[in-house]
Amino acid sequence: MRRIKLIIAYDGTNYCGWQIQPNGITVEAVLNQKLTQLLGEAILVIGASRTDSGVHALGNVAVFDTNHRMDGTRIAHALNTRLPDDIRIIESYEVPLDFHPRYCDTLKTYEYKIYNHSVSNPMVRLYSLFYYLKLDLEKMKKAADYLVGEHDFKSFCNARSDVIDTVRTVTDIKIEKVGHMITITITGNGFLYNMVRIIVGTLLKVGRGAYPPEYILEILAAKNRSMAGPTARPEGLSLLNIKYLHESFQKE
């Protein structure tokens, strides 16, 4: 038995997210089906990040176990020839059998794109949020600075989540604008359900002047989801990469 790690990119537009569910096609279901066909045994992948419906990834991670002898690094190409063109395996390789993609120290980086202009752009509509109100980037950056560090992010967690420990560390938030496109890049050691999208929805409220930047401190202190801004739409969000700390086999 060997364990294989996959680095996976996908356009989430046409998927009901990562995790298998009864109504609608998911990235996990497609990978299980195509791996089972390729290797001739029932394969079940375990994903690192169960991205929501419509969210994209450039570097999600999954593992699966197999008795097949195919070289780990060759599985990426063999699987790509069977996958639809909106899912691609960037890399594959063998990892120790005790490596679990969710129970390791990691740094995850997400990117959220906002097309901020008076008219939407058809060419970027699937991969960014269209937002026509003027945004004050300096205020957004100031608000973001209050979020960096170790905090209880309960106010930034979907209220339906049953996670008990809501303390997380955000190590960095960058906000940049090129042309009409604003990119918010967020890195941290773990994220609660919808946390990145609620952070973005809150930063948008700051950017358009509905909240002052300092209001972030009150939102954090309240530990109450209703204090923060709305959950920003999924199409602007991409999981860029997951860095596994303390993993000597790590190839990146």
172 is catalytic: no
> For 101-122, b where at least 16 C-beta lie within 10 A, e where not — what string?
beeeebbbbbbbbbbbeeeeee
Among 10, 18, 156, 211, binds a second copy (CB under 8 A): 10
C-beta of 42 vs 123, nearer to a second copy:
123
Residue 71 CB, shortest distance to a second copy, in Å, is 16
Determine the interface stretch with a second copy among 5-13, 29-37, 96-104, 223-231 (rule: CB under 8 A). 5-13
The window from 40-48, 61-69, 87-95, 161-169 that contacts a second copy (CB under 8 A) reads 87-95
Residue 127 or 211: which CB sits closer to a second copy? 127
For the bound state, the minimum distance from the C-beta of residue 238 to a second copy, rounded and expressed in Å, comes to 7
- What is the bridge-based pairing of β-strands 237-244 and 56-66? parallel
Return the range that interacts with a second copy (CB under 8 A); candidates 3-11, 66-74, 185-193, 198-206: 3-11
Q: Is residue 80 within the footprint of a second copy (CB under 8 A)?
A: yes
113 binds a second copy (CB under 8 A): no
Catalytic residue numbers read: 52
Q: Which residues of this protein are in contact with a second copy, per CB under 8 A?
A: 9-11, 56, 58, 76, 80, 85-90, 119-123, 125-127, 238
